[in-house]
Amino acid sequence: MGQGAQPRRAQAYDGELGAAVERAQRGDEAAFAVAYRLVQPGLLGYLRGLVGDDAEDVASDAWLEIARDLGRFQGDGAGFRGWTAAIARHRALDHLRRRRARPRPSALEQDVLDLPGPRSTHDQALETISTEYVLELVRGLPRDQAEAVLLRVVVGLDGPAAARVLGKRPGAVRTAAYRGLKRLAGRLRAEGVTDEAPRTLGESS
């Protein structure tokens, strides 16, 4: 029964998150703060994989949009995580487009801008995925695998929700996440912390 399909952390928080979002939609500011605390760590990890050190700024922009459009959201806790990830992704793409004018665009910018628009060995990757080191390893995966892993493992979306964010079929996202996690688990097993970690998403060595 798909044991590593979605982080247990996110699943456990979804009921609380859904209730907080409902209250926030009725104007409860404390409930919005609860929703923020539950969603922000995964969202920030996802954005770090896309825009690196600018993740905090992009997340701030995303949360302004989330707060503004909260009344239009319909769904449960898991749906809210998917909705916020889609908003954050669009903000990240906007951010990378604005940076395009800079003299030396990075491979990260080119790869992410090309993306479509609007426990076993995997357990080892799931348990350590939030560390900075593993985020560096994720950036070294092919871009489809990297985004699938970030959305499935860091944000905690299921296959269909991640597929909606990426504009792809669920099967393709599931396969990309599986391959990415398998590759990560192999790297983590083989070599603790001394690999030279590629700095950009989609840079394959």
Tens digits of per-residue pLDDT, 125-164? 555 444 566 677 777 888 888 888 888 878 888 888 889 9
Looking at every residue in the chain, the average pLDDT score rounds to 77
Q: What pLDDT was estimated at residue 105? A: 45
Q: How far apart are CA 21 and CA 16, in angstroms?
A: 9
Q: How many helices (H) and strands (E) does the chain have?
A: 10, 0
Q: What phi, psi does 128 have (nearest 5°)?
A: -105, 5
Between residues 92 and 195, the one the model is more confident about: 92
**Sign of torsion over alpha carbons 114, 165, 42, 137:** negative
Q: Is pLDDT at 103 greater than 80 in this prediction?
A: no
Largest CA distance in the chain: 51
SS3 at position 53: helix
HSE-CB at 79 with a 13 A cutoff on CA atoms is: 11
